[in-house]
A and B are shown apart, each in its own frame.
Chain A
Amino acid sequence: MLDAWNIHYRYPKSESEIVSGVSLHIRRGETVGLFGPSGCGKSTFARLLAGYLHPDSGRVTLGGETLPQKGRQPVQLLFQHPELTVNPRWRAGKILAEGGEPLSEILEALCIQPSWLRRYPHELSGGEIQRLAIARALHPATQFLIADEMSAMLDAITQAALWHAVKVHQRIHTMGLVVISHDTDLLHQLCDRIVDFQSGNFLEQRGGDGDGKLRPKEGQAM
């Protein structure tokens, strides 16, 4: 379980809290969607969940313990703009290898071709770099993946391909997945439950019997 307990956070120079009292509980293998207008704090919350930021109050725990300080983090975060997430002086192969030896199934699922492992980021398109970033993050040791508008900049086919690859990996390795997006249709396709970040309301939840029907629920704690 990845849990966020009553998180509060304010940016150092800011007057108001951007995340006020948010709690979220995610099981391994589950997919949760976070939905909300820009500026409402979803991205900040994602960083808090993944340990990039530390909450002013409240805790983030993984399996009951605080997130590890050193070593490969079991909670990985994917960003919207992939160009910023890779070292411009490194070749694609080196970038991939930083996440550990990539599994060949992942490379295949993401259509990462060996020929462009020698290229530099500036010779690759945004979609290709995002594939690298995903492959780098997907690893048997990754228990939870948080995708912050991961496919917002990509065309429909690339988006579908990448998400399918992530979902396959999720099923095999029972990975928890948090999807942050504006696209409600995308969230419907991917998520077991969708949460409106601002109000804390559930938007939809898939039935536990797996019938795929969507039922609205309101007013529950996330």
Chain B
Amino acid sequence: MLEIHDLSVAFSMYGSGRGKQWTEVISAMEVSVNRGEVVAVIGSSGAGKSLLAHSVLGILPPNAEVGGSIAFDGEVLTEARKRELRGNTMALVPQSVGYLDPLVRVKGQVVRAARLSGMTRPAARQRQADIFDRYGLGDTVGEKYPHQVSGGMAKRVLTATATVGEADLLIADEPTSGLDPEAIQKELNHLRELADAGKGVLLITHDIAAALSISDRVSICYAGVTLETVVAEAFGRPDALSHPYTRGLWNALPQNGFQSFHGLRLPKKSSGGCPFASSCSRATRPCITLLPPLKATEEGEVRCHHA
């Protein structure tokens, strides 16, 4: 359904006194999501991952330059097509209540989301009531303003704004941040239900454990570059993970040994090679100068000269 190929997003930034500079925040990103599956994009908290969501939906700021291609149902997404699809066929579950209008009650915002996806007013109201029911949000919650709603409820409201329009593709941006384990599980289960009902879910997060509990496939991203994509089950088997960064992430989890990755340096982006090269024990000359292409493996794909 959604195919992102070699995506790059660069910004012209003001760098302290030096005038305009172009900074590439995402480069060579490769993600695909089919109907009925949950695909997680995992990377460290930073600007890259939200930008992925924004570039699919076409809501990047004007000074951003996008390269590569994004296709939906086989059709390349132009900015115009993105405008047509967003809100009704593609929807975003945003990161925080800060994305809601602080002056409008929560119920009204969900109704508006439904209306924007093309429903009539009575249908929208009905749908909002159904959705609130489904997510266990009572009438009292609907009457509140965004700042009055507690963390877990807020996430459910945000999910409601995205799902009320019957979108086929849902992009969830860090849905678990700031929640405690119970709320995280509930939220993740909602997303899994949506996928099981035939929608495609793109889950963007830094929390691997959360992602693995519901995902079909996982895409590991480092410094804005997709390094590896594997099926979620691969994470249980030690040799199934090809890229050293992926292995490093897995081993660093507290439940897996809490291993510190020796020699992790900050990524070097300017040289054009693999961004992980400066930290990698297997790095050789080609790693520094040439960005490895994606190679198919048993479990998925990997971007490494040594895989």
A164 contact set on B, CB distance < 8 A: 260
Q: A125-B46, A126-B45, A155-B44 are in contact. Are A188 and B254 (CB under 8 A)?
A: yes
Docked Cα-Cα span, A186 to B208, in Å, equals 14
Alpha-carbon distance A116/B260, docked complex (angstroms): 22
On whether the beta carbons of B45 and A157 are closer than 8 Å, the reply is no
A104 within 8 A of B: no
Find out whether the CB atom of A125 lies under 8 angstroms from the CB atom of B45: yes
Let me know if B265 and A111 touch, CB within 8 A: yes
- In the bound complex, how far is the Cα of B248 from the Cα of A160, in angstroms? 10
Q: How many contacting A-B pairs (Cβ < 8 A)?
A: 82
Taking a contact as CB atoms under 8 Å apart, the answer to whether A37 and B182 are in contact is yes
Q: Which residues of A contact B181 (CB under 8 A)?
A: 182, 184
Q: In the complex, A63→B249 CA distance in Å?
A: 40
Which residues on the A side are within 8 Å of B151 (C-beta)? 38
Q: For chain A, residues 144 to 191, give those with C-beta under 8 angstroms from any C-beta of chain B.
A: 152-161, 163-164, 182-186, 188-189
* B residues 9-28 in Cβ contact with A at 8 Å: 15-16
- Chain A 103-125 interface mask (CB, 8 Å, partner B; 1/0): 00000000101001000100101
Checking B150, B152, B177, B252 against A156 with a beta-carbon cut-off of 8 angstroms, the contacting residue is B252
B261 in the interface (beta carbon within 8 A): yes
Q: Is the CB of A153 within 8 A of B253?
A: no
| Separation of A159 and B248 alpha carbons in the complex (Å) | 12
A160: B residues at CB distance < 8 A: 252-254, 258-261
Measured CA separation A39–B180 after assembly (Å): 10
Q: Out of B16, B44, B254, B260, name the residue touching A125 (CB < 8 Å).
A: B44
Whether, in the assembled complex, B36 has its beta carbon less than 8 Å from a beta carbon of chain A, the answer is: no
On chain B, the residues within 8 Å of A163 by CB distance are 258
- Answer whether residue A127 sits at the interface, using C-beta atoms and an 8 A cutoff: yes
Which one of B183, B250, B265, B266 has the greatest number of beta carbons of chain A within 10 Å? B266
**Across-interface contacts of B266 in A (CB, < 8 A):** 111, 113, 116, 128
Q: Which B residue sits closest to A188, measured CB to CB?
A: B254
Q: How far is the CA of A69 from the CA of B263 in the complex (A)?
A: 40
Point out the residues of chain B lying under 8 angstroms from A113, CB to CB. 265-266
Known: A153-B206, A155-B249. A39 touches B150 (CB 8 A): yes
Q: A125-B45, A127-B46 are in contact. Are A157 and B254 (CB under 8 A)?
A: no
Q: How long is the Cα–Cα vector from A182 to B183 in the complex, in angstroms? A: 11
B43 in the interface (beta carbon within 8 A) = yes
Q: What separation, in Å, do the CA atoms of A158 and B42 have in the docked complex?
A: 13
A155 engages B254 (CB within 8 Å): no
| A154 engages B254 (CB within 8 Å) | no
Contact status B179-A38, CB under 8 Å: yes
| Docked pose: A123 CA to B11 CA in angstroms | 13
**B264 touches A (CB below 8 Å):** yes
Which residues of chain B are near A161, meaning CB under 8 Å?
Answer: 252, 260-261, 264
- Chain A residues contacting B206 (CB-CB under 8 Å) are 153-155
In angstroms, how far is the closest chain B Cβ from the Cβ of A153? 5
| Nearest CB in chain B: distance from A143 CB, A | 25
- Give A37 to B186 CA distance when docked, in angstroms: 14
Q: Is B271 an interface residue (CB 8 A)?
A: no
Contact A111–B46 (Cβ < 8 Å):
no
- Which residues does chain A contribute within 8 Å of B182, judged by CB atoms? 37
Within 8 Å of chain A (Cβ to Cβ): is B255? yes
Separation of A158 and B258 alpha carbons in the complex (Å): 11
> Are A126 and B46 CB-contacts (below 8 A) given A154-B206, A160-B252?
yes
Q: In the assembled complex, which residues on chain B have CB atoms less than 8 Å from the CB atom of A186?
A: 254, 258
List of B residues within 8 angstroms of A152 by Cβ: 177-178
Residues of B170-203 at the interface with A, using a CB-CB cut-off of 8 Å, are: 177-183
Q: Which residue of B lies closest to A161 (CB)?
A: B260
Contact with B264, one of A37, A38, A111, A188 (Cβ below 8 angstroms): A111
Chain B residues near A158 (CB-CB < 8 A): 44
- Docked Cα-Cα span, A184 to B47, in Å, equals 28
Query: Which residues of B sit under 8 angstroms from A183, Cβ to Cβ?
Result: 254
Taking a contact as CB atoms under 8 Å apart, the answer to whether A155 and B258 are in contact is: no
- With A38-B152, A120-B16, A153-B177 known, 18 other A-B pairs at CB within 8 A are A37-B182, A38-B178, A38-B183, A39-B150, A125-B45, A127-B45, A128-B266, A154-B44, A155-B43, A156-B208, A156-B249, A157-B248, A157-B249, A157-B264, A160-B261, A183-B254, A185-B254, A186-B258
Binding site for A on B (CB under 8 A): 15-16, 42-47, 150-152, 177-183, 206, 208, 245, 248-250, 252-255, 258-261, 264-266
